[in-house]
Structure 1
Amino acid sequence: MKEELLKAHCNGRLMLFVGAGVSANLGLPDWNTLIGRIAEELDYDPKIFATYGTPLALAEFYKKRMGGLGSLRSWMDREWHNTNTDITKSDIHRLIAQGNFPKIYTTNYDRWLESAHDAFGVKYDKIKSVADLVKLTEGRRQIIKLHGDFDLEESIVLDETSYFKRLNFDTPLDIKLRADVLGSSVLFIGYSLNDINIRLLFYRLTEMWGSSNFATARPKSYVFTSRPNPVAEEVLRHWGIEMIVSEEHDPGKALTDFLQQLTA
């Protein structure tokens, strides 16, 4: 375990970014399942429909045809929040909730992070829109839903239009992100290094630092992965982000073991 990473966590200066890989450990539906559902609602063969465009484009098509997310949002809410799921059995979520992370940013729509905090008695403020920024409690953990939340349909980043708007990085939540990242180390978990979305986020964070007057004082940032990738490692190193690679092949166990070492 990196000494600087441990120190940042111990001192409460480590900001956590949580991706879809964390929710995947709960058995949540993936993009293929979602696109299959969209196809069914629009009376298309799922296999053929999937060839018509990217998931973002297909979700855009659905919204145009249906006039919004409508019944799809309700289906997603049900499928992503299976009542049989016992969040207290997820060591990953327990370790996140009990860790010393003053701010947790997530690109996940689901509420399992919040449920874990509730289950383990950790108080937090959830931020899903600018309206929530004026209701924060001093000293309380913040969970920032960067790609939206099921509680606020218009905040969900699912289709091309909402995603392209998200790429502008000029919303009040982005301004908050820029301020937060200047004072903390950042740890990314649950992300695929091949995902262009997260790579763009890596790049944007680097740009935020580069345009500041304190670039030389930038705290280290880290991304945890269970799969070695020398290409990504070299590129990210130049962006000021250090890869932490586990020797454990099972992604869920790898992340659990890592978080246990970090939060011990």
Structure 2
Amino acid sequence: MDQLKEAYRQKRLILFVGSGVSASIGLPPWRQLIDEIAMQLDYDPEVFATYGNFLSLAEFYRIRKGNIGALRSWMDREWHQGIEIRNSEIHRLIVQGRFPSIYTTNYDRWLEYAHDAYQVGYVKIANASDLAKARDGVRQIIKFHGDFDDDASLVMDETSYYERLQFETPLDIKLRAETLSKAVLFIGYSLSDTNIRLLFHKLSKIWSKHESLGVRPISYVFSHKPNPVQEEILSQWGIRMIASEDDEPGAALEHFLRDLVEG
């Protein structure tokens, strides 16, 4: 924890934000999105959910509809109402933290809205053309799986997901470059999430190639409960697990961030 805090104090800590952060403010689970896909395609939601995982069902939606525009519009509308972002201590701590870059695999806009609410400047980066907007001294919010303002950027169906696995987009190259000189802190992720585990593995391969030069950073993932099996697996990839004893994920994350940002 001391090394993590030192990287944070030196503004050499990148934050990577997952769906657990959005869940903490009441955004719906993936099952609700699957139900909406089913209803838009005139399927019984209970039956439709047995036909595949979210990626394959979203792929089927795209094939049937020709694009994901209507689904994206529904998500954008439903996910951004009835929430007062200033009530989220987690978002306040993120905004007021000393993070030069914040990456997120979340589609929603709540990180941006939180920055707006606290009047903290940022540049949103969701595709290659956005990279030109980056400015020294201004925080970057990198929408790693896309943004509602650009349907083409969204990693939502099987095709876009498999393309993402190549790890060769401009945003991937940016992340690879940043992680050679800065540590990364992952929050809001399930350790069983195959997507984030692949990212861990990819990053560890990059770091190992440069280890002889002495530039391999130490990175971290926060978990709301201990898991000795995952802790050892992550350790071989150069990632340290920070675990809480708090049974409630949202409370555990809030306490951890407060200790890091305000401690």
TM-score > 0.5 by shorter chain: yes
Contact preservation (8 Å) 1:209, 1:215: no
- Residue pair 1:38, 1:62 contacting (<8 A) in 2 also: yes
2:25 match? 26
- Other structure's SS at 1:217 match: coil
Residue 81 of structure 1: aligned partner = 80
**1:95-244 paired onto structure 2 within 5 Å:** 95-212=93-210, 214=212, 216-244=214-242
CA distance in 1, matches of 2:169, 2:235: 28
What is residue 70 of structure 1 aligned with on the other side? 69
Q: In 1, distance between residues paired with 2:190 and 2:212? A: 29
Give runs of aligned pairs for residues 6-17 of structure 1, distance below 5 A. Answer: 6-17=5-16
Displacement of 1:217: 2.9
Task: Calculate the aligned-residue CA RMSD, in Å.
Answer: 1.0
TM-score normalised according to structure 2 size: 0.98
1:99 corresponds to which letter in structure 2?
A: G
Look up the match of 1:250. Answer: 248
Instruction: Measure how far apart 1:176 and its partner are.
Output: 0.5
Alpha-carbon distance, 1:215 to partner = 5.7
Deviation at 1:241, TM superposition (A): 0.5
Supply the AA of the counterpart residue of 2:50: T
- Name 1:57's counterpart in structure 2: 56
List runs of 5+ in structure 2 lacking aligned partners: none
Distance (whole Å) between structure 1 residues aligned to residue 65 and residue 212 of structure 2:
48
* Partners of 2:169 and 2:195 in 1: CA distance: 17
Question: Is the CA contact 1:29–1:79 (under 8 Å) kept in the aligned structure 2?
Answer: no
Counterpart AA for 1:74: S
Quick one: which amino acid aligns to residue 140 of structure 1? V
**Matched residues, number:** 262
- Report the Cα offset of residue 216 of structure 1: 3.7
Letter matched to residue 20 of structure 2:
G
Letter of the 2:168 counterpart: D
Q: Distance in 2 between matches of 1:215 and 1:73?
A: 44
- The structural deviation recorded for 1:212 is 2.8
Structure 1 Cα separation of the partners of residues 195 and 134 of structure 2: 28
> In structure 2, what is the Cα distance between the partners aligned to 1:227 and 1:43?
40
Distance, in Å, in 2 between the alignment partners of 1:214 and 1:171 is 26
Displacement after TM superposition at 1:213 (Å): 5.8
Distance in 1 (CA, whole Å) between partners of 2:211 and 2:247 is: 41
Q: Which runs of 5+ in 1 are unaligned?
A: none
Question: 1 CA distance for matches of 2:198 and 2:88?
Answer: 29
Amino acid at match of 2:216: R
Percent identity for Structure 1 against Structure 2: 60
Contact 2:207 2:217 in 1 (8 A): no
- Residue of structure 1 in register with 2:37 after alignment: 38
Distance 1:25 1:41 in 2: 27
User: How far apart, CA to CA, are the structure 1 residues paired with 2:66 and 2:28?
Assistant: 24
Shift of 1:214: 4.7
List 4+ stretches of structure 1 deviating above 6 A. none
| TM-score normalised by structure 1 residue count | 0.97
Kept in 1: contact 2:17–2:106 (CA 8 A): yes
After superposing the two structures, state which structure 1 stretch, 84-93 or 132-141, moved more: 132-141
Does the 8 Å contact 2:55/2:158 carry over to 1? yes
Moved more, 210-219 or 11-20: 210-219
